[in-house]
Amino acid sequence: MIKINILGFYALQFTLCFGLSQTACANDDDFVLCAKKFPDNHVERLKCFDNALADLPAAQSYSETRAPAEPIVKQNEVTVERSYLTRGWNLDNRPRRDPSSLDRLQPHRQSYLIVRETNRVNNQPATATNAVTVPYDLDALESKFQLSFKTDVFTLENLGWWGVKTARLWGAYTQQSHWQVFNTRNSSPFRETNYQPELIVALGTGNASGWKLLNLGLEHQSNGRALPGSRSWNRVYVQGGWEWDNVSVLGRGWWRIPENSFKDDNPDIVHYMGRGDVLVRWEPENKSQAFALLMRNNLNINNNLGFMQMDWSMPVQLGKAARLHVQLSSGFGESLIDYNHRQTAMGLGVSFREW
């Protein structure tokens, strides 16, 4: 290690005088004292120099006028972990990095790609008003994928509306497709694709746990096909969100917007697709996996019909953005073309990380 001598000390002092201000030279007695006190111990001499520099007002003046202010980073600072509902609906009002960029898009429902097999193929879809006359040539094994995202349009903060702290308008879109990818004899057609745009007003309560969210939604869902395969409906819904530790619950009820009876492709869709649903989700603190259970029901005691779907994104990493995904579903309405068709299906594939 290089030993600092008296000549080096004066060179250092000259640099300080020139670079800082003349005030830095006012305490040269302190520097000389350090050099004389520790002529052979360079470690203690440098400590003495540091202590002398710390007392210089010019150093503070220089840092304030010459260098831009830097945020103070606390190495041991403990940050509050954002829960699933907080992340999904931005209940803590975390600002976006760039309000005009695509990082405003964030997940809505789960996005995944699986290969599924059903126990009952719906090769002749029908409704109360129309039916397919020639059966489709379909396979029980097909692929299913879903893409879902949303973005916030505008936000009102610091509200005091009967326990509501924030109000945020979201625009959301979900697309689900069933692809007969292994049906090469028929050129691997897309059996069904459902399009689902939404407008959602999300009201945040500001609670750390328990009731955290109230959503008011307007939703359209259709498959974009002509008769006799056309399916569509519009509905408004109210949805509540609750959360405790690693468990979140979203429960909603809806009302179908009436349509002209001559134009209604599926007048009995509510009887099969239900009047409400509940989504229960569990995710550990390390976010290594997630388990979700969706239950839908028509709330008809005499003729009760429903649907259940379990999704498990397993703790098996596939790259940095995907995990192994298992899906089990049973009941009516896995897709719009199957809204009145009961089936049980099992699927395996990949799901994409939500955050």
Catalytic residue set: 220, 222
CA distance 31 to 208: 56
CA distance 284 to 314: 12
Buried residues in 8-20 as b, exposed as e (16+ CB within 10 A) = ebeeebeebbeeb
Distances (CA, A) of 308 to 311, 333, 351: 10, 10, 19
Q: Which two tokens stand for residue 138?
A: 């379909």
CA distance 88 to 240: 14
Contact 116, 142 (CB under 8 A): yes
CA distance 306 to 275: 10
CA distance 192 to 341: 14
- DSSP H or E segment with residue 155: strand 141-156
Q: Which two tokens stand for residue 336?
A: 């719009």
Whose structure tokens read 């008809």?
300
